[in-house]
Amino acid sequence: MKIFVINGGQHFAHSGGKFNSTLVELDKTFFTPEQGFELQITDINEDYDLLEEVQKYVWADVIIYHFPVWWFSMPYRLKEYVDKVFTAGHRKGMFYSDGRKADNPNINYGTGGTMQGRKYLVTTTWNAPETAFTLPGEFFNQTSVDDGVLFGFHRMNAFLSLERMEGIHFHDLEKNVTQERVDSYQERYHNHLKSIFHPDDKSDDQVYITAIVRGRPEYRSQLKDILGNLVQESRKEVSCLRYDLHTTVDDPDTFTFYEIWNDAKGLEEHNHQPHVKAFAAIIDTMLVEQPIILLTKKIA
């Protein structure tokens, strides 16, 4: 399956597009050749060639948009990108016309798209809390993101004959953001992708691991490099669903891994990988004690 990701997290004023970039990194680890995907990415902060962008749209089976909502719309660079690329895509595989015929121009507007059979998915990020959309008397009058602010965005994609997939929206990422919220959103996005692109996966078979590693202070820099490589290589493994590394706030020599594996077989294969063996080789030298490995079960 061919996936085209558009990172619309524009760098502007106090907005650095960090969470949208995080989502793109998750895309990179999820949409791998080993899982049967081809992936292309455009970052609207970078220069692009219009015809190349048109070709990416036409090439893709699924287009994924990531963007923050600014003043109830797309960031202006993303809007500029859409205006230019969609215009360049006229009669080049994106749309042929507005769909109307001269003999009856009052009907069939918006039916001239030429991307039938392709789909799109959108994620948005907000300062607004989710309750602003759901509670009576709050700002958005109990109108959802998709039915309200994104109504025009969805019709824009329908104009190309793209089919909408279930999106996901992330709230309270500015004024009330916490690392716990960010971590939760990352896991939620990964699970969302899995439910859409791997619907037959059985979560009951998944293996959850928490590992605690205590390093010797004199090897701190070397150990961080080794653990960083362990994370990078482990995330490439087909069975790896999540592989995160944290350090303790008040102890820079204590590290915690949080891992999710597709099944026990995948974990067993992981334990025989060269990067795991490389880590095992330095345990007696660089660690205070043997790693603490906790096999856990998700209960809530």
Average pLDDT of the segment spanning 72-90: 98
Residues 6 or more apart whose Cβ sits within 8 Å of residue 138: 131, 132
Q: Are residues 75 and 173 in the same domain?
A: yes
Q: What is the mean pLDDT of residues 126-146?
A: 93
Query: Within 13 Å of residue 192, how many CA atoms lie on the same side as its CB?
Result: 19
At 241-288, the pLDDT tens digits run 899 999 988 999 999 999 999 888 889 999 999 999 999 999 999 999
Question: Does one domain contain both 45 and 166?
Answer: yes
Boundary-marking domain end, from 148, 170, 197: 197
Q: Give the chain's radius of gyration (CA, Å).
A: 23
Let me know whether 120 and 190 are in one domain. Answer: yes
- Residue 193 sits in the same domain as residue 109: yes
In contact, 20 and 64? CB cutoff 8 Å: no
**Where does a domain end: 170, 197, 224?**
197
Dihedral sign for Cα atoms in the order 276, 224, 232, 183: positive
Q: Give the Cα separation of 19 and 9 in Å (integer).
A: 8
Tokens of 251: 């102890």
- Is 154 found in the same domain as 105? yes
Residue 138 near residue 132 (C-beta atoms within 8 A) = yes
The CATH number of whichever domain residue 184 belongs to comes to 3.40.50.360
Mean local confidence (pLDDT), 68-89:
97
- Per-residue pLDDT for 32 more than 60? yes
Quick: pLDDT tens for 49-76.
999 999 999 999 999 999 999 999 999 9
For residues 193 and 210, membership in a common domain is answered with no
Number of domains forming the structure of the chain: 2
The verdict on 156 and 209 lying in the same domain is no
Domain end residue (candidates: 197, 223, 253): 197
Q: Are residues 144 and 264 in the same domain?
A: no
Ramachandran area for residue 71 (φ above 0: left; ψ -120 to 50: alpha; else beta)? left
Angle between helices 50-59 and 76-88 (to 10 degrees): 80
Residue 45 to residues 6, 27, 70: CA-CA distances in angstroms? Answer: 11, 18, 16
Q: Are residues 191 and 279 in the same domain?
A: no
Name the residue range of residue 252's domain: 205-296
Q: Are residues 233 and 270 in the same domain?
A: yes
